């Protein structure tokens, strides 16, 4: 069995961005046993290389070819030039560094990532641009966004709201899109999701999607979900629930 491993709430905590109990050892055990794995994160605040380096500086011995985030597949998925970005400035800076032009004037697509600071005017502008013909793109589709001990609507929830408001469909770049997970399979040289076990703290945003593709799923209660009760509505999509990643025998 190979692993897809989430980061926020699974390997590092949402508040202090430090390794969760047993996380460093879990990765070390996978390396020692030569078990194939891929760290799959919805990082959209730093360039891919920078976030990967951040993780290794925390002590995670993750080979560079065992890391995947949405920025690494964005250029393969979105073939336009003019975009309107919604999210923190760090996100906008990275998108522009990839060659996109961030503009509110006739964008071909809107790109939405997580932010605790969205307000009604942001949503009004998103709706306006989509109604004017811009593609609706979620950088990922998390159910909730955890920040400093609080939980905010995730990009997945925002995409559903905008789709309902505009009648338009949307595309997801990162987790839990099939295209993103298929990119992960390619990196591991695998052909079937039945060979994958996904470990994540996001029962809805990560695990439901990949379970439908045939993967095994493990929910850790060290991030978004604080108890089994919070995941009861999607219990059929979860094969195993543990307190944290250190409780899994890699």
pLDDT tens digits, one per residue of 195-216: 999 999 999 889 999 999 999 9
Averaged pLDDT for residues 28-37: 97
Pairing of β 101-102 and β 67-68:
unpaired
Please give the domain boundaries of the chain with CATH numbers for all domains. Answer: 2-69+175-247 (3.40.50.1000), 78-172 (3.40.50.1000)
Residues 6 or more apart in contact with residue 160 via CB below 8 angstroms: none
DSSP collapsed to 3 states, the chain: CEEEECCECCCECCCCCCECCCHHHHHHHHHHCCCCEEEECCCCCCCHHHHHHHHHHCCCCCCHHHEECCHHHHHHHCCCCEEEEECCHHHHHHHHHCCCEECCCCCCEEEECCCCCCCHHHHHHHHHHHHCCCEEEECCCCCEEEECCEEEECHHHHHHHHHHHHCCCCEECCCCCHHHHHHHHHHCCCCCHHHEEEEECCHHHHHHHHHCCCCEEEEECCCCCCCHHHHHHHHHHCCEEECCHHHCCC
Long-range contacts of 17-23 (CB under 8 A, 24+ apart): 18/58, 19/58, 19/59, 19/60, 20/222, 20/244, 20/245, 20/246, 21/222, 21/244, 21/246, 22/244, 22/245, 22/246, 22/247, 23/60, 23/244, 23/245, 23/246
Q: Which of 30, 26, 37, 31 is nearest to 3 (CA)?
A: 37
Least confident of 135-144, 174-183, 241-250: 241-250
The mean of the pLDDT values for the chain is 95
Has residue 121 got a pLDDT over 80?
Answer: yes
Share of the chain above pLDDT 90, in %: 87
Using CB atoms within 10 Å of the CB of residue 5, give its burial: 0 to 12 exposed, 13 to 18 middle, 19+ buried: buried
If one compares 232 and 26, the residue with the highest pLDDT of the two is 26
233 pLDDT band, cuts 50/70/90, is confident
Q: Please tell me the distance from the alpha carbon of residue 175 to that of residue 7, in angstroms, as a whole number.
A: 12
The pLDDT value given to residue 219? 96
Residue that has been written with the tokens 């393969």 in this structure? 76
Averaged pLDDT for residues 9-18: 93
């Amino acid at each position: 069995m190979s692993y897809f491993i989430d980061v926020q709430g699974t390997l590092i905590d949402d508040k202090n961005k430090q390794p969760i109990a047993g996380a460093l050892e879990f990765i070390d055990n996978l390396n020692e046993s030569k078990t194939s794995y891929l760290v799959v994160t919805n990082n959209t605040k730093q360039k891919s290389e920078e976030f990967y380096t951040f993780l290794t500086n925390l002590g995670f011995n993750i080979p560079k070819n065992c890391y995947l985030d949405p920025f690494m597949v964005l250029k393969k998925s979105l073939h336009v030039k003019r975009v309107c970005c919604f999210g923190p400035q760090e996100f906008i800076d990275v998108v522009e560094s990839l060659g996109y032009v961030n503009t509110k004037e006739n964008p071909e697509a809107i790109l939405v990532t997580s932010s605790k600071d969205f307000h009604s005017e942001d949503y009004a502008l998103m709706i306006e641009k989509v109604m004017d013909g811009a593609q609706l793109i979620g950088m990922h589709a998390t159910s909730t966004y955890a920040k400093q001990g609080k939980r905010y609507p995730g990009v997945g929830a925002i995409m559903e709201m905008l789709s309902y408001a505009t009648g338009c469909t949307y595309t997801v770049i990162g987790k839990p899109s099939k295209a993103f997970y298929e990119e992960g399979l390619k990196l591991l040289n695998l052909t079937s999701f039945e060979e994958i076990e996904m470990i994540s703290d996001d029962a809805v945003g990560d695990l439901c999607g990949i379970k439908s593709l045939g993967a095994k799923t493990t929910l850790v209660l060290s991030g978004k979900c604080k108890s089994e009760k919070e995941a009861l509505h999607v219990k059929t999509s979860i094969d195993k629930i543990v307190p944290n990643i250190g409780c899994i025998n890699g």
